[in-house]
Amino acid sequence: MKTSTVPAHPTPLTADQADVMLQRHLKKHHIAIILLHWFNAIVWGLELVTGVALIASPIFRFAPGWYLSMVESAFGTRGHLLQFHLALGLTWIAVYLVYGVFGFRTYLSREVLQNEIALDDDDWRWLVIRTKRILGFTREALPSQGVYNAGQKLFALMVYAMVPLIMITGIIMTFRLMGPAVIGWAVVLHFCAVGAVVSGLLIHVYMGAVFPEEKPAFFSMITGTVNELYAYNHHFKWWTSMKARELAWERRHDEEALPAPEPGIPD
Amino acid sequence: MARWGMVIDLRSCVGCHACTVACATEWDVPAGQARTHVHATPVVGTFPALQSSVFVAQCNHCDRPPCVSACPSGATSQGADGIVRIDRAVCIGCGFCVDACPYDARYLNPKDRKVDKCDFCAARLERGQEPACVATCTAHAKHFGDLEDSQGAVARMVYEQGAGRIESTAAAVGPNVYYAGKPSQLELVHATFQPRASRMPMAGTVWGRLLMPLMLTVVGATFAGQAVAFFNQLRTGEQDFED
């Protein structure tokens, strides 16, 4: 969409405008984030498969006996199964420590979290309307969203709260720290924190991989980009900020006759 | 397969602690801990009719071991031979089983912070040897064998000579360490060393009764919501996001 000013609200597009925007792509995810996402997905898949099989007590287990036997058989012994779960978990923690250290200013600083993750009024209305739309109760238009929609933000907030808990309790159990009373509570908190994330993961995976309206979001985790039409329809606030940057660059370019823009910013 | 059991004849036991020392040596039990304990009852009665008894305690390899069900990770299990074993590679040191044992037969090893207890010297049994405490008992008070071998000494002491279990109404778990002795002696031992009720730590209770059902409900409800959304998607058909 070629405009001289950025619109304040989404307006209906002509077929030609939509077609042009469909061909243009905006960069949404850095390669480091894409790699981290899929590393995270693989780790979570494996840790869930092995973790469920590690809860063997007749009082606490919820997986059927055949599942426990099958997973244990795949690893040879129960000890090997636990060792795998711990080694992978510690690797996951180590990778996130590196991410936390080197990516703090880019991804985790207060400003980034406030701009990208904190929920505003539009987000809360989005959550209500989106739920009604998914369940088929309304076709009301969704409020404008930033680079992440309210569902993604809510999931991110829960993950930010639960992941440190999972890591700390995991370390306590792995190294049997602070005595049996603390280890006992660590087992319980580890289970609950994972359960909370899994309930969010079910929605996350469904929305990303199955729900048709968000398919570009799924593919953006492979290519790193989304088409401009999707950004306009689903992340209008983000689209306007990108557009404002683009227009500002164009003004500077016109004034200073700068060289060609970097790839990723549509001209 | 054999179903192992033990009979301790309290009439013979002299309380020398040789069994405790042999066990500690065999299994590198740290100082201050033991897999097998020798206790004594208080002296009761009126002089000259006084009475007391020695009592030897260890894991009873119960028919219904509460420690097995309490262990979250499955480190504690019971084999077909009746021996309750701890897979130390899997133990996470939560101590749920320590509280669960009505006989307080388990301890947390301070060296590796994992739980340890008597396993009837399973490794020695595999080599065809008796448990270390039985082989060492100076008074031959400990007898070990197959409870299902009707011709064996242990089975005869249990099923023909009246060796009995130390149980209580709070902990009727079918221990497979039996005690032989004079009726008054066994009565005194019973009264003094009655097993307590099996306990579950607060963390385990909260987990099993509150948080586990809660989390499964939350995850189940989310899954059900996704299923409704998915079938709604199938019913209405996919619409291109571009629209």
Give residue-wise pLDDT tens across range B151-175.
Answer: 999 999 999 998 999 999 999 999 9
CB < 8 Å from B in window 57-86 of A? 57-60, 62, 68, 77-79, 82-83
Pair (B104, B48) in one structural domain: yes
For residue A78, the chain B residues in CB contact (below 8 A) are 74-75, 87, 89-90
Taking the CA atoms of residue A124, residue A128, residue A134 and residue A139 in that order, the dihedral angle to the nearest 10 degrees is: -110
Give the Cα separation of B163 and A243 in Å (integer). Answer: 89
Pair (B145, B162) in one structural domain: yes
Query: B72–A211: do the CB atoms touch at under 8 Å?
Result: no
Distance from CA of A117 to the nearest CA of B (A): 22
For residue A192, the chain B residues in CB contact (below 8 A) are 211, 215
Q: What is residue B178's three-state secondary structure?
A: strand
H/E stretch holding A60: none
Q: Report residue A151's pLDDT band, with 50, 70 and 90 as the boundaries.
A: confident
Q: Report residue A267's pLDDT band, with 50, 70 and 90 as the boundaries.
A: very low
Tell me what pLDDT residue A207 has.
81
Pair (B179, B72) in one structural domain: yes
Interface test with B, best of A1, A131, A188 (most B CBs within 10 A): A188
Question: Please, what is the end-to-end C-alpha distance for chain B in angstroms?
Answer: 71
Query: B94–A184: do the CB atoms touch at under 8 Å?
Result: yes
The b-or-e profile of B75-101 (16+ CB within 10 A means b, else e) is bbbbeeebbbbbbeebbbbbbbbbbbb
Pair (B141, B205) in one structural domain: no
Instruction: Give me A140's structure tokens.
Output: 């009301």
- pTM for the predicted model, two decimal places: 0.86
Q: Report residue A259's pLDDT band, with 50, 70 and 90 as the boundaries.
A: low
Q: Which of A79, A187, A234 sits opposite B72 (nearest CB)?
A: A187
For residue A12, the chain B residues in CB contact (below 8 A) are none
Task: Report yes or no: A263 at the B interface, CB cutoff 8 Å.
Answer: no
> Over the stretch A211-223, which tens digit does the pLDDT of each residue have?
777 788 888 889 9
- Comparing B127 with A12, which gets the higher pLDDT? B127
Query: B72–A55: do the CB atoms touch at under 8 Å?
Result: yes
Mean pLDDT of chain A: 87
The b-or-e profile of B200-237 (16+ CB within 10 A means b, else e) is bbebbebbbeebbeebeebbeebeebbeebeeebeeee
CB < 8 Å from B in window 136-195 of A? 136, 173, 176, 179-181, 183-185, 187-188, 191-192, 195
Pair (B35, B93) in one structural domain: yes
Task: Report yes or no: A219 at the B interface, CB cutoff 8 Å.
Answer: no
> Over the stretch A54-104, which tens digit does the pLDDT of each residue have?
999 989 999 999 999 999 999 999 999 999 999 999 999 999 999 888 887
Above 80 in pLDDT, residue A244?
Answer: yes
Pair (B237, B162) in one structural domain: no
The b-or-e profile of A151-174 (16+ CB within 10 A means b, else e) is bbbbbbebbeebbebbbbbbebbb
Distance from CA of A195 to the nearest CA of B (A): 6
Which superfamily does CATH assign the domain made up of A26-243 to? Transmembrane di-heme cytochromes, Chain C (1.20.950.20)
Distance from CA of A45 to the nearest CA of B (A): 16
Pair (B133, B184) in one structural domain: yes
Task: Report yes or no: A132 at the B interface, CB cutoff 8 Å.
Answer: no
Among B153, B175, B192, where does a domain finish? B192
DSSP string for residues in A104-133: IIIIISHHHHHHHTS--HHHHHHHHHHHHH
Among B158, B173, B192, where does a domain finish? B192
For residue B219, the chain A residues in CB contact (below 8 A) are 195, 198-199, 202
Tell me what pLDDT residue A106 has.
77
Return the amino acid letter for B222.
T
Give the Cα separation of A17 and A19 in Å (integer). Answer: 5
A115: left (phi over 0), alpha (psi -120 to 50) or beta: alpha
Give the Cα separation of B130 and B143 in Å (integer). Answer: 9
State phi, psi for B88 to the nearest 5 degrees.
Answer: -70, -20
> A1-5, A105-109, A247-251: which range is least confident on average?
A1-5
Residues 6+ away with beta carbon under 8 Å from A199 = B215, B218, B219, B222
DSSP letter at B217? H
Among B168, B192, B216, where does a domain finish? B192
Give the Cα separation of B162 and B18 in Å (integer). Answer: 26
What CATH number corresponds to the domain at position B46?
3.30.70.20
A136: left (phi over 0), alpha (psi -120 to 50) or beta: left
Instruction: Give me B105's structure tokens.
Output: 């037969």
- Comparing A266 with B65, which gets the higher pLDDT? B65
Above 90 in pLDDT, residue A260?
Answer: no
Above 80 in pLDDT, residue B239?
Answer: no
DSSP letter at A5? S
Q: Which of B69, B73, B90 sits opposite A59 (nearest CB)?
A: B69
What is the count of residue pairs from A and B with beta carbons less than 8 Å apart? 139
Q: What is residue A176's three-state secondary structure?
A: coil
Cβ atoms of A2 and A266 closer than 8 Å: no
> A206-215, B31-40, B75-84: which range is least confident on average?
A206-215
Query: B94–A187: do the CB atoms touch at under 8 Å?
Result: yes
Query: A195–B218: do the CB atoms touch at under 8 Å?
Result: yes
Tell me what pLDDT residue A258 has.
60
H/E stretch holding A195: helix A179-205
The β-bridge relationship of strands B37-40 and B54-57 is antiparallel
Instruction: Give me B183's structure tokens.
Output: 């009726």
Q: Where are the domains of chain A?
A: 26-243
**Residue numbers of the domain that contains B227:** 201-243
B219: nearest CA in chain A?
Answer: A199
Above 70 in pLDDT, residue A3?
Answer: no
Pair (B119, B146) in one structural domain: yes
Q: What is residue B34's three-state secondary structure?
A: coil
User: What percent of chain A clears pLDDT 90, i.e. is strictly above it?
Assistant: 42
When pLDDT is averaged across residues B84-110 and rounded to a whole number, the result is: 96
H/E stretch holding B67: helix B66-70
Q: Give the start-end residues of each E strand in chain B.
A: 4-9, 37-40, 44-46, 49-51, 54-57, 76-78, 84-86, 107-109, 114-116, 142-146, 177-180
